[in-house]
Amino acid sequence: MSRIAIIDTSIDPAYIGGRTVEYVNVCDDICNDYDSGISHGSLCAITLDCCASDYDLVNIRIFDENKLKVFGEIEVLAKALNLCRELCVDVVSLSAMSSILSDSKHLYDITKRLAENAVIISALDNRRYISVPTSYPHIVGVRSDIAGLLSLGEIAYSADDPYNANIFANCDFAFLRNHNCAPSNSIAVPVVAAHVNGLLNQGCSVWEIKSLLESCKLYPVDPQDENLAYHVSSDDREIPVVYLARYTVDMCQELMDAFCEDYEVQSTGLSFLEGSYDVRIKRLSRIDDIGYELRFMERHYKTDLIFILGSYNQLWDIKSIIEIDIWLTKLDNGGVLIGYDNEELYEVDEQATARLHEILTNAS
């Protein structure tokens, strides 16, 4: 019998037939009272209980408010994920995620360790932003079958999902609609958690789960979803694009960290270079793909600034396809050459970030 943790609001056991629930509260408050109406955590628990059997339920409360729409601190989520290791949880049902990709520094290492002994199932942001920890390769990313192409409670696999949320689940249950809850990525998570619980109860190991999910039926193509990458997730924004020549992937990530820490600027990147990537940077192999991928990143990554990382010679080919606002070239003497608006200036490496921010701020 597996142990399933729902990381969410408090769960009212009255909604799941009085099932025993092990409670852990990592919020600052100590109250477990229930507000009028059903909580988001209870909705997830109802869905899990409808689809699963033979499991122990752990409710890790990370939200102060027991309401349908909830927000919390990333440090609290990180603490809850650490607790899952201590509590020997087998399955993590996680509707909470972050589309602020710099939050990855709080979540990546924790989820990587936890995934060695547990299956972490995480929802994609409902507005279809790349999300953490959902988009990590060691996470089972989940999306709702909003097109209704699956039967109730059925799951399917999509190998090429651009958000790395490869599992689709139909969660359009009547009992949810009775609680004024529409199908969503959050509610799709416990459907997949129930499926994983069944596999674990059959004797499958954590290491086998991912490949078994990948062998599920393929998710049918929704004709209305073919141009998904070009749909606008929020208001149509113009995001500055900065090209980095003779930079390594590590240098780019250091630049991103500096912008976040010094100026609270969220940045992402597209790269043609080899290297160790975090979730903020997407690897490309063909220059011809740059227009499509840039458009996708503008709409489905929460970012204020986009870096493109490649060789000096590639810059001119790329500029023939997309507009580059500023380009930076590392020099052999340790300095940086910065080009913009048909001008070039030299800056010492230590001041390059500040000068780039100054140029971007003045340009806006």
171: domain CATH number is 3.40.50.200
- Same domain flag for 57 and 129: yes
Residue 354 is assigned to a structural domain of this protein: yes
Q: Answer yes or no: do 43 and 180 share one domain.
A: yes
* Whole-number Cα distances in Å, 25 to 22, 42, 233, 345: 10, 15, 33, 54
**Mean pLDDT, residues 280-285 taken together:** 94
Report CA-CA distances (Å) from 281 to 102, 123, 226, 249, 288.
Answer: 11, 20, 24, 9, 18
The pLDDT of residue 221: 73
pLDDT score at 70: 53
Whether 33 has a pLDDT exceeding 60, the answer reads: no
In a domain, 190, yes or no: yes
Give the mean pLDDT of 201-228.
82
For residues 217 and 146, membership in a common domain is answered with yes
- In tens, the pLDDT along 309-326 reads 999 999 999 999 999 999
178 and 71 both lie in a single domain: yes
Residue 129 in 3-state DSSP?
A: coil
Residue 229's pLDDT is what? 44
Question: 233 lies in a domain?
Answer: no
Nearest to 85 by CA among 20, 189, 15, 5: 5
Assigned token pair, 152: 């109730």
User: How many domains, in total, are found in the chain?
Assistant: 2
Q: Given pLDDT bands bounded at 50, 70 and 90, which one contains residue 223?
A: very low
Say whether both 170 and 48 belong to one domain: yes
Q: Is the residue at 140 inside a domain? A: yes
Does the structure show a pLDDT above 90 at 276?
no
pLDDT at 231: 46
Locus of tokens 């509590």 = 87
CA distances from 141 to 130, 135, 259 (A): 11, 6, 28
Q: Verify that 133 and 106 share a domain, yes or no.
A: yes
C-alpha span between 273 and 150 (Å, rounded) = 39
**299 or 33, which is more confident?**
299
Domain hosting 146: range is 2-226
Give me the amino acid identity at 243.
Y
- pLDDT band of 37, cuts 50, 70, 90: confident
Using the 3D structure, point to which of 226, 260, 289 is the last residue of a domain. Answer: 226
Q: What is the mean pLDDT of the chain?
A: 90
Q: What is the pLDDT averaged over residues 248-275?
A: 95
pLDDT in tens, 65-116: 545 445 568 999 999 999 999 999 999 999 999 999 999 999 999 999 999 9
Q: Is residue 234 in some structural domain?
A: no
Q: Is residue 236 part of a domain?
A: no
Question: So what's the pLDDT on residue 222?
Answer: 58
146 and 211 assigned to the same domain? yes
pLDDT tens per residue, range 143-155:
999 999 999 999 9
pLDDT at 362: 87
- 234, 168 contact by CB (below 8 A): no
Q: Answer with the one of 198, 226, 254 that is the final residue of a domain.
A: 226
Whether residue 25 is contained in a domain is answered as yes
pLDDT for 329:
96
pLDDT (0 to 100) of residue 27: 82
d(CA 276, CA 100): 20
Report DSSP state, residue 224.
G
* Per-residue confidence (pLDDT) for residue 253, from 0 to 100: 94
Share of the chain above pLDDT 90, in %: 80
In a domain, 231, yes or no: no
Same domain for 249 and 198: no
Would you place residue 364 in the very low, low, confident or very high pLDDT band (cuts 50, 70, 90)? low
Q: What is the pLDDT, as a whole number, of residue 65?
A: 56
Q: For position 234, what pLDDT does the model report? A: 46
User: What is the pLDDT, as a whole number, of residue 209?
Assistant: 95
| 201 and 334 inside one domain | no
Give the end of a domain, one of 176, 203, 226: 226
Assess whether 245 and 221 both reside in one domain: no
Tokens for 193, please give them: 């958690």
pLDDT at 281: 95
Query: Span 174-193, mean pLDDT?
Result: 94
Residues 133 and 165 in one domain: yes
More confident residue, 67 or 291: 291
Question: Tell me, what's the pLDDT at 71?
Answer: 59
Residue 129 to residue 159: CA distance in whole angstroms: 18
pTM metric for this prediction: 0.89
Percentage of the chain modeled with pLDDT above 70? 90
pLDDT at 226 (0 to 100): 45
Residues 155 and 254 in one domain: no
- Of 39-43, 157-161, 241-245, where does the model show the most confidence? 241-245
Backbone φ and ψ for 276, nearest 5 degrees, come out as: -95, 115
